[in-house]
Every structure is written in structure tokens, then in C-alpha cells.
């Protein structure tokens, strides 16, 4: 760092677990004490990530807690140790349970096996409880960022001698242009199609998740507004929701979720009341 | 001799007779030592062109007509520029009088910059107010307001032409200036204003990495990843608004201290991070904490800080405000902040789709 220059916090990268998992290149620093950057197949230069997802597995021990947190296309592996600055985050993570939705900011640590395979885990700096809107927002932004990089890589691939300025003239940011160049340099011949399909899929799962959130709200409102003392009829809910563009399957899923979350209960067969 | 209007491409040998419209000098340091160069705008009856002169007679002033021989024309920042160097010849023509046809490049608010300081812009005028100032013993009026297009808003000051709320205008010859990291426009009797027709601009949604200049009327989204330690309740000098937590104000020791509520936090959206700050009203709306007419003990002061952290950390927000860019980085003074909901997500999705084929 230049004397007098303010140390700036390195912003986190919002990438899907799949992009990280498929990384095979590390950009080592000349200073061995400095953790290397991970260069992903999309050219993203990663040291810190921010992601959210459901905790799908947790192993709590006195010295460390290990958790698996799933995003729409895979899983991040999170390790937090009971030492130094990490102990506060261990306490936070230990208050959570499998199924909880969390946002994690953390540094990525890599380990290369003797066979050369790279494994990654995240050392959390912050863990926050989160909700569906935050999850949808993160997925949307991570998906948008990945899609733009994929298109930039495609455009760079069309150029005889790709350079950042030419890509920026096409409307990509400096960072996106540099990602495209790194992808071409470090992952020549890498088949990005599977990654592309997984990322596009994350968008549809996001939309399903959003329409489910909308359906839950509408159905709960309908049940609360019902004046039938025996409870709101299932058939009435289905026909009302069809007018909103929701099919029977979506209504069933939303009713199941509302029941699981304790917002409604089934008074008698196919009749519902709000709690 | 070539007319400015006929210069359409780069050339190594250009000769022009032009009037110096604007000129500034700047010092530089190279391997060969320190030096001074000049830059500005030259023009003739067919148009104007920016120029850089590595050597120029010290007698050349704004308004002079000069003949420039053996100059080169090259592109700089995507725009043609005439360069005067050691092989060029500069001849003053004191007897000549020349009318200059001013030409200005069209800019959107988000592209305004100090490298092109006279521009043409199209936008909506709002929040007009009038004030007076004294120059050479004479009271003069300045009309101030906001100038908005579909990419953002900047402050505008008129030292001549009338500005009214709701005017949709195209302004030629507006001057771009910067004050405390924020861009602004100023116009005078030399600027031309014409009516324009365009849809009323909506507030644009930016990715944080796109916020690179001091403009207002913009929105960003992001997850709050850090809250400043000093967020919360603070005492300020009632005169200069400086923080005076540890005693009285050094400049205004007799001034009253007033209680203020303030938050500073870092927002990230995956493209970059930005430092945001909220004043009393916005922080109060966000947290539900009111300070007016109240007194707080130390425990309550600490609980206000925790309350702000709990409300912000890890949550996604839509923030509208005014960006400023200084040596310390880019920051956003928030005019409003709301947590992202389903409707906001729809808007973000639409905005993110733009530009991806």
C-alpha cells in the first residue's frame, strides 16, 4: 500500500456456489503472506464473497462449526473457528439451525489436494438472518452479474485481439471487460454452457419463489377476509386465485407453506382459517 | 487554411485562423522536469474545437485571433482536439475580428464532466428559487434550481435567463462546474435556452459501479454490510453543524449544541460498494427513533446505535440520494431509504434486463 493511501475494504463478489466450485486457477501474490485471488471460469477475481441461502447441514463442535449453505445452484461450505475474531461469528452461526435462511459475508479459503483438485470454503466475517425478499434480491443481482459476464466473454471471443477498451465500448463495465479477458486467458476451451444453464435456471427458481411469495400473501388475505364461520373453502380459494393467474398446484404449495409457517390451519377437510 | 467546421478527422498537419475562446494553463512534471501547458477552446465562424498547446506565446489571451500552422489533430476522449507543439507556428493577428459559431456537445447528466466544460443539455427544471448577490457594488439576482434528465439531476444556477418550475428545456452553452465533489451547471446571457418536449424523467436506478460522478436524483440498491461506529445520536454545533461530542465547538464556543441522529453505512450490490449516510429525518423514518425535544442518557445512546445496526445490517435496501466523488471515494447522501420489497424487485429485474441481449 502506498504510504498515506487509505486502505479500502475489498468489496465482496456476489457469485453462485457453482461458479466458485468450478474454479481451478489461483492468482498468487508475490507476498506469500497474502491470500491468493481465485479466478473463476467467468473471470471473477474473488477474495471475499457475499451470498445467501438455506442452511442444509450443520456440525457444531466446541472448536469449530461447519455448515453447508445452499444457493439455487449448489452449496457453499462454511467453516468458523472458535478463535480470535472468528469466535463472535461462531456464536452467531451456532444460534442458527438447519433450514434457516442466512446471508453470509466472508473470505474464501482454498485448499489444493495432491491430485491438484481445488476445494473452497468460506470463513464468515458476518452472518445475518435473512428473508425471501433478500434472497430474491441477491439471486437476481448474482444472476444479472453472471449473465453480463457470460455475454462479455462471448463478445470477447468474437474479437481477434480482445481488449478491455473494445469491450467497454460495447457497454460493459471495466470490471466486466477484465473478467471476460481473464476467463479467456485462464480458461481456454472451458465449456461455459453448463454454468450458463445453471445460472439461467436460478432465475426460474427465483421467479417460482417470488410467485409463491405473492400467492401466499393473496391467499392469506383471502382467508383472513372470509366471513364463513366454518372457514374459507378450498374451492373458493382456487377459483379466486385462478383469476390472479395462479394454478391449483401453486395454491396447494402456498397453502402448505402457510400451514407450516403457522399462519393458517385446516379447520376441517379443505376449510381454512387464519391464526 | 482549414475551417474548424471542415476538420472531420485526425491529421498531422493542420493550419487554422481562429479566435481563442477559452484558455487555461496547467503545470506538469515529466522526466525532463517541470513545465506548463495550455488548453482551452478555439473557434471560427464554422464551429469550435478543444486544443492543447505544449508551447504558446505568453501574450496570447482570450479573444485574440491567431494563425496556427503545422498543428496536429488527434482524438482525445473520443473527441477531436488540436495540438500545438514545438514544430507549430503561432502568429498573432491583432487587426482581425472574428465571430465564433459556438458548438456544444450533447450530454446526459450522468456523462457530464469537467473535461468538457461547456455543453448542451436537455432536461426538466424544478425547485426554482431566487436570491441576490452583490458584484461591483451592484445587487444582482441568481436563479437556482434542479436540472433533471432520465439519468440524474444536478443543481443549476442562472445568472441571466429566466428559469421556471416545470420548464422542459434544451440549453446550449451551459457551464459544468464542481463543488465539494458534486457537479452543477451554470448559465448566463450567452447560453441559449429553447423549449423541449420529452417524457417527464423517472428516477434512474444505477448499479453501484456506475455511480462515478457527483450527481443527485439517482437510486441504488444493495445489502448493508457495515454500519459506522459513530452512527446514532450525536451533538452538533448549532452554527456550523460540526460534531462536538467531546465539548464545545472550537470555532463557536458560545453556540448551543443540538442533538442529531445520523447513520453511515456501507452498501454493496455485487458490482461495488458505496458509503451512504442519512441525516436526522431519514434515519428517524428508518428506525422509528425521534430525537426532537428529548434527552438521552448513555444507555439510551448506545441502544440507539444498536437499533440502527439491527435495522440495517444484512438487509437489502433501495436508496435514493445525491452522490459525491472526492479523494476519499464515492459516497451517497440518502434522501430516502426503503427496504427492498416485491415491487422493488420487479423494477430491479426490469432494469437489470436492459443491456443484456
Interface predicted TM-score (ipTM): 0.75
Q: Are A43 and A178 in contact (CB under 8 A)?
A: yes
Mean pLDDT of chain B: 88
Q: Are A173 and B209 in contact (CB under 8 A)?
A: yes
Cβ neighbours of B309 in A, within 8 Å: none
Distance in angstroms (rounded) separating the CA atoms of residues A75 and A68? 6
pLDDT grade, residue A209 (50/70/90)? Answer: low
Which residue in B220, B315, B316, B318 has the most chain A C-beta atoms within 10 A of its own C-beta, making it the best mutation to test that interface? B316
Q: Give whole-number Cα distances, B314 to B140, B286, B287, B345, in Å.
A: 51, 15, 15, 17
pLDDT grade, residue A31 (50/70/90)? Answer: confident
- CB atoms A134 and B315 under 8 Å: yes
Neighbour count for residue B245 (Cβ, 10 Å): 10
pLDDT, position A5: 42
Q: Are strands B218-227 and B232-237 parallel, antiparallel or unpaired?
A: unpaired
Cβ neighbours of B210 in A, within 8 Å: 173
B223 touches A at CB < 8 Å: yes
The per-residue pLDDT for range B231-276, each reduced to its tens digit, is 988 888 888 877 777 677 888 888 887 888 889 999 999 999 999 9
pLDDT, position A260: 60
Cβ neighbours of B205 in A, within 8 Å: none
Cβ neighbours of A171 in B, within 8 Å: 355
- CB atoms B328 and A6 under 8 Å: yes
Nearest to B318 by CA among B293, B345, B300: B345
Residue-by-residue DSSP string for B129-165 = EEEEEEETTEEEEEEEEEEEETTEEEEEEESSS---T
Please give the average per-residue pLDDT across A136-157, as a whole number.
Answer: 92
Distance in angstroms (rounded) separating the CA atoms of residues A225 and A243? 17
Chain B nearest-CA residue for A14 = B270
pLDDT, position A4: 39
Q: Is pLDDT above 60 for A7?
A: no
Max mean pLDDT among B27-31, B178-182, B332-336 falls in B332-336
Which residues contact residue A99 at a Cβ distance below 8 angstroms, ignoring those fewer than 6 apart?
Answer: A54, A55
Distance in angstroms (rounded) separating the CA atoms of residues B223 and A88? 21
More confident residue, A246 or B223: B223
Nearest CB among B268, B315, B328 relative to A11 is that of B268
Q: Is pLDDT above 60 for A3?
A: no
B238 Cα distance to chain centroid:
28
Nearest to B278 by CA among B264, B292, B260, B258: B264
B349 touches A at CB < 8 Å: yes
Chain A nearest-CA residue for B356 = A148
pLDDT, position A48: 95
Residue A181's φ and ψ, nearest 5 degrees, are -65, -40
Domains parsed from chain A with CATH numbers: 17-130 (2.40.50.140), 138-195 (no CATH), 212-274 (1.10.10.10)
Domains parsed from chain B with CATH numbers: 4-92 (2.40.50.140), 105-195 (2.40.50.140), 205-353 (2.40.50.140)
Q: Are A120 and A82 in contact (CB under 8 A)?
A: no
Q: Is pLDDT above 50 for A204?
A: yes
Distance in angstroms (rounded) separating the CA atoms of residues A139 and B316? 12
Distance in angstroms (rounded) separating the CA atoms of residues B65 and B92? 6
pLDDT, position A249: 67
Query: Would you state the cell numbers that stand for residue A6, as one nine-digit string?
Result: 487509505
Q: Is pLDDT above 60 for B83?
A: yes
Q: Which range, of A250-264, B122-136, B279-293, B319-333, averages the lowest pLDDT?
A: A250-264
CA distance B349 to chain A (A): 7
Neighbour count for residue A182 (Cβ, 10 Å): 22
Please give the average per-residue pLDDT across B343-352, as a whole number.
Answer: 82
Question: With pLDDT > 70 as the criterion, what percentage of chain B qualifies?
Answer: 98
Q: Are A102 and A60 in contact (CB under 8 A)?
A: no
Chain B nearest-CA residue for A134 = B316
Q: Is pLDDT above 60 for A206?
A: no
pLDDT, position A261: 65
A175 touches B at CB < 8 Å: yes
The per-residue pLDDT for range A85-144, each reduced to its tens digit, is 788 999 999 999 998 999 999 999 998 888 888 899 999 999 999 999 999 999 999 998
B336 touches A at CB < 8 Å: no
Residue B123 belongs to what H/E stretch? strand B118-135
The per-residue pLDDT for range A230-241, each reduced to its tens digit, is 889 888 898 888
CA distance B111 to chain A (A): 14
Q: Are A12 and A50 in contact (CB under 8 A)?
A: yes
- CB atoms B271 and A175 under 8 Å: yes
pLDDT, position A273: 86
The A residues from 221 to 260 touching B (CB cutoff 8 Å) are none
- CB atoms A11 and B272 under 8 Å: yes
Q: Is pLDDT above 90 for B328?
A: no
Please give the average per-residue pLDDT across A197-214, as a whole number.
Answer: 65
More confident residue, B82 or B328: B82
Please give the average per-residue pLDDT across B89-115, as a whole number.
Answer: 89
Please give the average per-residue pLDDT across B37-60, as a whole number.
Answer: 90
Long-range contacts of A170-176 (CB under 8 A, 24+ apart): A171/B355, A172/A148, A173/B207, A173/B209, A173/B210, A173/B271, A175/B209, A175/B271, A176/A148, A176/A149, A176/A152
A142 touches B at CB < 8 Å: yes
A252 Cα distance to chain centroid:
26
Which residues contact residue B245 at a Cβ distance below 8 angstroms, ignoring those fewer than 6 apart?
Answer: B234, B235
Please give the average per-residue pLDDT across B3-31, as a whole number.
Answer: 89
A147 touches B at CB < 8 Å: yes
Cβ neighbours of A142 in B, within 8 Å: 270
The per-residue pLDDT for range B162-177, each reduced to its tens digit, is 999 999 999 998 999 9
CA distance B65 to chain A (A): 38
Cβ neighbours of A129 in B, within 8 Å: 314
The per-residue pLDDT for range B198-226, each reduced to its tens digit, is 999 989 999 999 998 999 999 999 999 99
Q: How many CB pairs under 8 A join A and B?
A: 83
A222-259 burial, b at 16+ Cβ within 10 Å, e below that, comes to bbeebeeeebbebebbbebbeeeebeeebbebbbebbe
pLDDT, position A8: 64
Amino acid at each position: 500500500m502506498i504510504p498515506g493511501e487509505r486502505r479500502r475494504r475489498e468489496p465482496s463478489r456476489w457469485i453462485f456456489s457453482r461458479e466458485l466450485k468450478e474454479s481451478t486457477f489461483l492468482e498468487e501474490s508475490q507476498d506469500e503472506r497474502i491470500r491468493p485471488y481465485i479466478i473463476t471460469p467467468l473471470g471473477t477475481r474473488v477474495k471475499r464473497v457475499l451470498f445467501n441461502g438455506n442452511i442444509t447441514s450443520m456440525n457444531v463442535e466446541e472448536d469449530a462449526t461447519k455448515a453447508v449453505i445452499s444457493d439455487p445452484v449448489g452449496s457453499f461450505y462454511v467453516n468458523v473457528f472458535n478463535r480470535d475474531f472468528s469466535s463472535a461469528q461462531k456464536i452467531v452461526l451456532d444460534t442458527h439451525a438447519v433450514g434457516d435462511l442466512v446471508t453470509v459475508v466472508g473470505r474464501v479459503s482454498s485448499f489444493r489436494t495432491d491430485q491438484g483438485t481445488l476445494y473452497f470454503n468460506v470463513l464468515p466475517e458476518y452472518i445475518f438472518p435473512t428473508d425471501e425478499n433478500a434472497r430474491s434480491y441477491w439471486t437476481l443481482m448474482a444472476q444479472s452479474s453472471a449473465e453480463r459476464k457470460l455475454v462479455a466473454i462471448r463478445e470477447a471471443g468474437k474479437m481477434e485481439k480482445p481488449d478491455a477498451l473494445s469491450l467497454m465500448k460495447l457497454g460493459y463495465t471495466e470490471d466486466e471487460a477484465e473478467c471476460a479477458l481473464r476467463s479467456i486467458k485462464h480458461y481456454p476451451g472451458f465449456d461455459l454452457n453448463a454454468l450458463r444453464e445453471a445460472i439461467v435456471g436460478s432465475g426460474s427458481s427465483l421467479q417460482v419463489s417470488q410467485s409463491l411469495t405473492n400467492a401466499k400473501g393473496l391467499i392469506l388475505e383471502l382467508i383472513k377476509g372470509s366471513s364463513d364461520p366454518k372457514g374459507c373453502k378450498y374451492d373458493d380459494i382456487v377459483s379466486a386465485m385462478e383469476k390472479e393467474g395462479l394454478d391449483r398446484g401453486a395454491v396447494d404449495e402456498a397453502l402448505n407453506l402457510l400451514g407450516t409457517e403457522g399462519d393458517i390451519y385446516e379447520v376441517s377437510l379443505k376449510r381454512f382459517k387464519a391464526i | 487554411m482549414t475551417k474548424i467546421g471542415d476538420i472531420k478527422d485526425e491529421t498531422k498537419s493542420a493550419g487554422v485562423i481562429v479566435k481563442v475562446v477559452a484558455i487555461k494553463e496547467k503545470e506538469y512534471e515529466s522526466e525532463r522536469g517541470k513545465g506548463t501547458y495550455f488548453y482551452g477552446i478555439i473557434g471560427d465562424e464554422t464551429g469550435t474545437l478543444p486544443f492543447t498547446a505544449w508551447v504558446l506565446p505568453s501574450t496570447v489571451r482570450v479573444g485574440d485571433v491567431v494563425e496556427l500552422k503545422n498543428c496536429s489533430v488527434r482524438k482525445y476522449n473520443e473527441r477531436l482536439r488540436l495540438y500545438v507543439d514545438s514544430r507549430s507556428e503561432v502568429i498573432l493577428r491583432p487587426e482581425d475580428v472574428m465571430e465564433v459559431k459556438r458548438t456544444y456537445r450533447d450530454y446526459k447528466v450522468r456523462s457530464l464532466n469537467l473535461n468538457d466544460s461547456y455543453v448542451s443539455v436537455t432536461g426538466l427544471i424544478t425547485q426554482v428559487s431566487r436570491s441576490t448577490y452583490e458584484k461591483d457594488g451592484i445587487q444582482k439576482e441568481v436563479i437556482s434550481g434542479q436540472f433533471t434528465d432520465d439519468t440524474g439531476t444536478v443543481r443549476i444556477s442562472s445568472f441571466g435567463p429566466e428559469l421556471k418550475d416545470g420548464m422542459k428545456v434544451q440549453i446550449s452553452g451551459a457551464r459544468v462546474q464542481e463543488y465539494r465533489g458534486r457537479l452543477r451547471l451554470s448559465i448566463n446571457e450567452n447560453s441559449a435556452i429553447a423549449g423541449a418536449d420529452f417524457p417527464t424523467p423517472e428516477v434512474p436506478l444505477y448499479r453501484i459501479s456506475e455511480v462515478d460522478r457527483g450527481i443527485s436524483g439517482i437510486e441504488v440498491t444493495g445489502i448493508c454490510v457495515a454500519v459506522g461506529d459513530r452512527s446514532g445520536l450525536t451533538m452538533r454545533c448549532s452554527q456550523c453543524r460540526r460534531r462536538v461530542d467531546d465539548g464545545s465547538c472550537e470555532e463557536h464556543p458560545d453556540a448551543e449544541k443540538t442533538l442529531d441522529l445520523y447513520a453511515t453505512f456501507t452498501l454493496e450490490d455485487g458490482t461495488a460498494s458505496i458509503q451512504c449516510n442519512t441525516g436526522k429525518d431519514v434515519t428517524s423514518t428508518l428506525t422509528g427513533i425521534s430525537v426532537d425535544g428529548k434527552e438521552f442518557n448513555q444507555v439510551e445512546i448506545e441502544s440507539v446505535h444498536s437499533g440502527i445496526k439491527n435495522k440495517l445490517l444484512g438487509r437489502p435496501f433501495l436508496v435514493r440520494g445525491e452522490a459525491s466523488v472526492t479523494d476519499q471515494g464515492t459516497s451517497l447522501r440518502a434522501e430516502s431509504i426503503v427496504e427492498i420489497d416485491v415491487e422493488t424487485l420487479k423494477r430491479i429485474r426490469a432494469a437489470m434486463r436492459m443491456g443484456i441481449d
